[in-house]
Amino acid sequence: MAEYKNMFSLIGKSDAEVKERLNQLFQTIFFDEEERFYFDTPCGTMGYMLDTGNIDARTEGMSYGMMMTVQMDRKDLFDKLWLFTVTHMLQRDGKYQGYFAWSVNRDGSHRAEGPAPDGEEYFAMALFFASARWGDGEAPYDYSVQAREILRHCVHQDEIVPGGDPMWNRENHYIKFIPESPYSDPSYHLPHFYQLFADRANAEDRAFWAKAAQASREYIALSSHPATGMSPEYAEYDGSPRHMFRKSMDYYSDAYRVVMNIALDHLWMGETEKLDTVAENLQKFFYENTEFGVYGSYMLDGTVHPEPAMHPVAITATLAAGSIASEGPYKKEWLQRLWDTPLRKGVRRYYDNCLYFFSFLMLSGEYKIY
């Protein structure tokens, strides 16, 4: 069983202090007039998480918002986010039927038709937790039914829809970057989710998810540099970096999530020595080779790339989350650094503050399995 504890106690912060800070973070993200990025729609029955740098709602952010609100026991906000998602993002025909358009405008009109698999996996997990916390209601609030349907499409899209592609490779059990791609994104790999899916998905797919959990742990270790711990933003199935979107660096925005995922896997499912070593290596590299809060982009061996980090607060936050898995010499230092770092302000606050919230949530002992 997962042991939920206040990791900030290692730097002298009481449970009361940590819970107060967590509630402040949630209030800022959802309600602060200047800094929030959750918004109700004009009708008031739906809500969305705005990517403030791109001015769109993404399945990444919508599913993150659902996970935040189920963890904080805010059914009202969860249901608004889910209703927006079902109404405006769910694809009802074509090869993407059953998937969700990954990017839409604030009015729900589509910017893109294809899905991004990290959204689907977060949707499914958040819905399962909602079912456990609040019970299933009438569609679309029959949460567990909706979650299982999402996962059915993720694994069997080619069998359900003509011309469709599944989000997971059924041979190696890896999640794909997009359904059509023969490569992956290490930060998409959430073995702790898959281990829970192995208990909650349709019975015929439970063995698949159990294998996916183990395969993903192996893939995270495979794609991480043995000295720095860095993972590439996108990677081939053999773990080697794949450079796309005119990017020539390896360790960039998506990749920051890997250590956060390692931490939550450790918290919920227990120690995996190879992955814990990745967290230790990352904390060591960044503590010894960078100035606090001033980060660049990197090649896997630590060589600095000319492109500066777009999301420096996210780097600090996720490295602090790594203290859950790390027994290295800098675990307390990274906890203190996160405590001393405020939420990001301004146009790029969305991604940084999502990862900040999740990192703080798990370090507070409040990111729980339901």
Return the active site residues.
Answer: 60, 254
Asked if residues 143 and 123 have their Cβ atoms less than 8 Å apart, the reply is no
* Residue the block writes with tokens 């989710």: 193
Angle at 121 between CA 119 and CA 126, to 5 degrees: 95
Q: How many CB atoms lie within 10 A of CB 97?
A: 15
| Integer CA distances (angstroms), 84 to 17, 96, 240, 339, in order | 34, 18, 37, 33
| Integer CA distances (angstroms), 274 to 168, 173, 300, in order | 23, 19, 17
Please report, for the chain, how many H helices and E strands are present, in that order.
12, 6
SS3 content of the chain, % helix, strand, coil (to 5): 50, 10, 40
Q: How far apart are CA 287 and CA 306, in angstroms?
A: 20
Neighbouring-strand partners of residue 294: 291
Classify residue 340 by burial, with Cβ atoms within 10 Å: 0-12, 13-18, 19+: exposed
Q: How far apart are CA 355 and CA 263, in angstroms?
A: 12
DSSP state for residue 167 in the 8-state scheme: S
Angle at 329 between CA 326 and CA 337, to 5 degrees: 80
Q: Burial code of 142-163, b = ≥16 C-beta within 10 A, e = fewer?
A: bbbebbbebbbbbbbbeeebee
Asked if residues 120 and 167 have their Cβ atoms less than 8 Å apart, the reply is yes
Q: How far apart are CA 299 and CA 33, in angstroms?
A: 38
Strands 304-308 and 296-298: antiparallel
| HSE, side-chain direction, 13 A CA sphere, residue 46 | 18
Tokens of 49: 């998480």
